[in-house]
Amino acid sequence: NAGVTQTPKFQVLKTGQSMTLQCAQDMNHNSMYWYRQDPGMGLRLIYYSASEGTTDKGEVPNGYNVSRLNKREFSLRLESAAPSQTSVYFCASSETADNQPQHFGDGTRLSIL
């Protein structure tokens, strides 16, 4: 009964380092999403994938790249980390790209020094 699994749960990086956050879902969902959560700002969409083979920018895509590796997995990459990217990152999935509720992972807490 895993749902959406994110790895790692915590990470500390130095400015300029690169890193890939991993996300996998076992619910056979078509759509997947990456958000960042910052205090007082709620969650903001970074990138999403409406279906396997497609990705699109969200509200705050700068500094990030994504890969929809297959139907289960959707990764988020920081090529050159900056302190402004210190945040909690959440992956989510939904059955389809419409009004279906999104299911969230437990988050990755990322600190960039």
Q: What is the contact surface with another protein in residues (CB under 8 A)?
A: 4, 31, 33, 40-45, 48, 50, 56, 58, 90, 92, 94, 96-107
SS3 of residue 62 by DSSP: coil
Least Cβ distance, residue 107 to another protein (angstroms): 6
CB proximity list for 46: less than 8 A, separation 6 or greater:
34, 35, 36, 58, 59, 60, 61, 64, 66, 76, 89
Q: Which is nearer to another protein, 28 or 98 (CB)?
A: 98
> d(Cα 63, Cα 82) in Å, to the nearest integer?
9
Shortest distance (Å) from residue 42 CB to another protein:
3
In the complex with another protein, the residue whose CB is nearer, 14 or 98, is 98
Q: How far is the CB of 16 from another protein (least distance, A)?
A: 29
Question: Is residue 87 within 8 Å of residue 38, measured between CB atoms?
Answer: yes
